[in-house]
Amino acid sequence: MSEHSCEILVAGIVQGIGYRPFVFNLASDLGVKGHVMNLGDAGVKIIAQGEKETLLRFIELLKTNKPKLSTYESFQIEWLKELTEFTTFEIAQSSISGKSMGFSYLPPDITICDKCVEELESNDPRRKDYPFNSCVDCGPRYTVIEKLPYDRPNTVMEEFTFCQSCKEDYENSKDRRFHAQTTCCTDCGPKYTLYSTSKGKISFSNNKEMVQFVSKEIEKGKLVAVKGIGGTHIACSTSKDDALLRLREAKGKRKFKPFAIMAKDISTIEEFAELNTEEKKLITSFRKPIVLLKKNSNYNLSEWVSPGLHNVGVMLPYAGVHYMILREMNEPTMVMTSANPSNYPMFIDNDEIMEKLSYVDYFLLHNRKIYQRNDDTVIRVNKLGKIFSHKFIRRSRGWVPEPLNSHIDIKNNTILGIGAEMHLVPSLMKGTKIIPTQHIGTVTLLETYDYMIEAIEHLLNLYNSKIDIVAYDMHPQYMTSTSIDEILNRFDIEERTAHQHHEAHIASVALEHKIHPEEEVIGIALDGTGYGRDGSIWGGEIFCGQISDLERVGQLEQFNLPGGDLATKYPLRSLLSLLSHNFRREEIVDITADLVNTLPKGKEEVEFVLNQLERDVFPVGFKTTSTGRFLDAVSIFLGICGEQTYEGEPAIRLEGYSLRGKANSDPTGLEIPYKETKNGHEIQISQVFPQLIDLSKTISKERVAYSTQEALGNVISKVVSSIADQRNISKILVSGGVCLNSIITEEIVKRVEIEGRKVFTNEKISPGDGGISIGQIYLEALNRFI
C-alpha cells in the first residue's frame, strides 16, 4: 500500500491540556504526515496521511494514549478520496473559521505539576525559585485567556516576549513546554515584588531571599497580601491568635466566619484533621480545591481559624509561590483567605489591592494581569448511604469553565440563567452544553453586579454568542430581578422568564442526572429562603410531577418571621414565633429567659416581638416554611448560636455540635409529626419544641441536637414515601442549601432507599444557590424546546 493512499479527518470537540503537542509527537513517532489545528469553539481538527495500517494505529493511540486530563466529547473519522500531499506533520496555525459546534471545552486553571515544583529546587537558573514555572500540563488557563483560540497571543502572556531559551522550549517537540502557552522563565516572564505598607518597595537580590523574608514575617504574626492566579489572598499564621483577631477585625468585623488554610502536605493535614479516601483524592487532585475536613482529636491550630465549628477548610499549594512560602516556614500551615470583603469581587489590580488592603503589613504582588477573577473552589464530602457524595459549596477555580452536558439539545439557541442573589453563578446554554461562570458572590453591591455582567460578557465574547432568552428568579426584590430590563437591554435579549426558586433547585438535579422530561419525580427543596408562588418565603418544600410542571404537595409548617431579615440575623425571633404555636406568652418568656441577651434590646425586644405575634401583624412576605430558619431556632434554643455573623452560621454550628452526639445511642423518642391539609402534607415542626424542653432535662444537648435533625430527615422521608406510594414514583430529587447538612440528608437517603427508591442529589454543581442558574436554564429549555 502506498504511504499516501489515504487521509484521516479527526474532528469534534477535544477536551484537555497539551493536546496538540500530544498529537504532533504521536504522529512524528509513527511517521504520519499532515497537521493538527485548533478550530476555536469548533474543537481540534487532525489531517493525517500515511499507510492505512499506520493510520489505524494512529487512531487507536489517539483514543487510548491521550493526555491524562483529556476527554473526547466526539471523535469523528472521515476517509478522504482527494489527497493533499504532505511531507511532514506540523501544528498548523489556529483557525476560527470552522463551523461552530456549540460551546467547546476551555481548560480550567490547573495546579502547578510535580515537575515544575521540582524545578523550584533545581540548579537551573531560569527555573530555580521562579514562582511562575508552568508547562503543557499545568498553570493558569481560564484566568489568562482573553479570546479564542487558546494561543499565546490571545492571552495576557502576550505582554511577555519569549527569551531565546523559552522560544526554543516552546518549539521543541520533545520538550514538555512544547506549545505550552504560559511558558516563561525568570529572564522573560512575570515577576513578584514585595512592598511594605509603611516603607514601600523592598528590594532583594533574588526570589528566595524575598520569600524567606515573607515567610518569617508571617510566622511573626504579620499580615501579607499575596496576589495569585485568580485573585488575592491574605496570608497569616494559623497559631497566633493576635494575628487572626486582627485579620477578623480588618475584614469588616468578620467575627466568627472560618478562614481557609493552606497546608504544606498531606502528612501535615493528618496531624490536625481527619481524611477519608475521597477527601484525600480531592485535595491532592490537579484541581486543588478547599475541602472541608473534620477536626481530629489532635487539632492544634488556633481556635480562631474556624471558631465553634467541627471542621476546617484546607487546601494544598497550587501555585509556585505557595510552595515557596511554605518551604521556608517552620509552621507547616498558613491562613490563605480571600482578601476581598464578603460580597465584594476579588481584588486583582495592584493599585486597588494596595488601596483597599492598607491594613496589611506587606504586599507580595506580581505584574501578570489577571484577566478573569476566579476564587478558590470549596467542597464538602458527605457519605450518603454507601457512597461518598461531593457537595460544592463554591464551584470555581479548577472547574470553571468546564461545561455540563445536557440530555436535551436546544440547537443554536442560547439561554442565560442568571441565578438568584446569593452565591451567584450565572450559566449559559447552547446546544447540549451548559457553562457556569466562576463564583460571583452575593449580588447586593453595584461592584458585584458589574462583576456578574463582566463574567457573562467574557463567555459570550469567547464563544462569539448572543443570548436569545434569559431565565431568572421570580423574587421581586433581588437585584438580578429588579435589574432585568437593564440586562435585557445590555445583551439585546428579547425574551425572558421568571422561575420559582425551589423548582429551579429541583430542576438542577434533574438536568445533572439526565432525568427524562416526561418522568414524574418527587422533589425535596430545603434551604433558607426563596420567593414562593403565594408571595411567602418558602424553604421546606416537597414537589411532585414532571420537572416542567411541578406541583407543591408538601411543606414545613408555616410560621411568622418577626422583622423579616432580622429573624435571620437573630434566631431568637424565629424561636419566639415557633414557640407561640404551642405556648402562652408567660411560658415563652420563661423558656427564653436565658436567651434574651442575644437580641440587641434584650427583654424589651422580646416583648415587642411577642406583641407582634399576638396581634398577627405579619403580611404574607413575612411568613415562611424555611428549613434554615427552623434549624436556626433549634440552634438558639440549645444555646449554640444566638447571632448570625455569616450566612448559615446557626445551622452550621448546630450540625457541628450535633455530631458529638452521633455516637451516643441513648434513645430520645423524638418525632416530628405531619398531617394532611387541603394544601398537601404539612410537617409540624413547632411540635418539636415541647419535646426538646423535656429531653434537655435528662439527655445531653449534643444528643438532643442530633436527634432533632435526624427526626426532620425521618419525617420528610415518611411524607415522601406516602406520596411515592400513592403515585408510584421511584426517583426522589433533593436540593437546596440545607442539603449540605449531612445528618438530615443522610437520614432521608437511608430511609427512602430502604424502600427501594433512588435518591438523586447535586454532585457537579452546588445544591445551594450556586446551582440555581442550571435549574433555571433547564426549566426554560423544557418549556420552549421540548
Catalytic residues: 20, 38
Grid look-up 483597599 returns: 356
Please state, in angstroms and rounded to a whole number, the distance separating the CA atoms of residues 55 and 48.
7
Helix (H) or strand (E) holding 442: none
| Cβ–Cβ < 8 Å for 1, 7 | no
- Helix, strand or coil, per DSSP, at residue 219: helix
Tell me, what DSSP letter sits at residue 664?
Answer: -
Please state, in angstroms and rounded to a whole number, the distance separating the CA atoms of residues 231 and 541.
38
Please state, in angstroms and rounded to a whole number, the distance separating the CA atoms of residues 346 and 349.
9
Please state, in angstroms and rounded to a whole number, the distance separating the CA atoms of residues 177 and 170.
5
Please state, in angstroms and rounded to a whole number, the distance separating the CA atoms of residues 491 and 494.
9
For Cα atoms 291, 294, 297, give the angle at the middle one, nearest 5 degrees.
145
Q: Which residues in 242-306 belong to E strands, given as ranges?
A: 261-263, 290-294
- Helix, strand or coil, per DSSP, at residue 517: coil
Tell me, what DSSP letter sits at residue 37?
Answer: E
What phi and psi values does residue 346 have, to the nearest 5 degrees? -60, 145
Of 198, 226, 229, 254, nearest in space to 326 by CA: 226
Residues 6+ apart with CB under 8 A from 81: none
| Cβ–Cβ < 8 Å for 404, 433 | yes
Of 220, 212, 209, 213, nearest in space to 199 by CA: 213
Paired strand residues for 33: 49
Q: Which three cell numbers stand for residue 746?
A: 443522610
CA distances from 683 to 159, 387, 556, 686 (A): 61, 28, 5, 9
Q: Say what angle helices 649-658 and 701-727 make with each other, to 10 degrees.
A: 100
* Buried-exposed string 313-346: b where 16+ CB fall within 10 A, e elsewhere: bbbbbbbbbbbbbbbbbebbbbbbbbbbeebbbb
Length of the chain, please? 786
Handedness of CA 432, 436, 442, 444 (dihedral sign): negative
Q: Which three cell numbers stand for residue 115?
A: 515537575
| Cβ–Cβ < 8 Å for 221, 236 | yes
| Cβ–Cβ < 8 Å for 497, 707 | no
* Buried-exposed string 504-526: b where 16+ CB fall within 10 A, e elsewhere: bbbbbbbbbbebeeeebbbbbbb
**Greatest pairwise CA separation for the chain in angstroms:** 98
* Buried-exposed string 64-96: b where 16+ CB fall within 10 A, e elsewhere: eebbebbebbeeeeeeeeeeeebeebbbeebee
Please state, in angstroms and rounded to a whole number, the distance separating the CA atoms of residues 385 and 784.
37
Please state, in angstroms and rounded to a whole number, the distance separating the CA atoms of residues 133 and 126.
9
Sheet holding 414-417, edge to edge: 404-405, 433-436, 427-430, 414-417, 469-473, 495-499
Please state, in angstroms and rounded to a whole number, the distance separating the CA atoms of residues 574 and 594.
16
Paired strand residues for 155: 145
Amino acid at 678: K
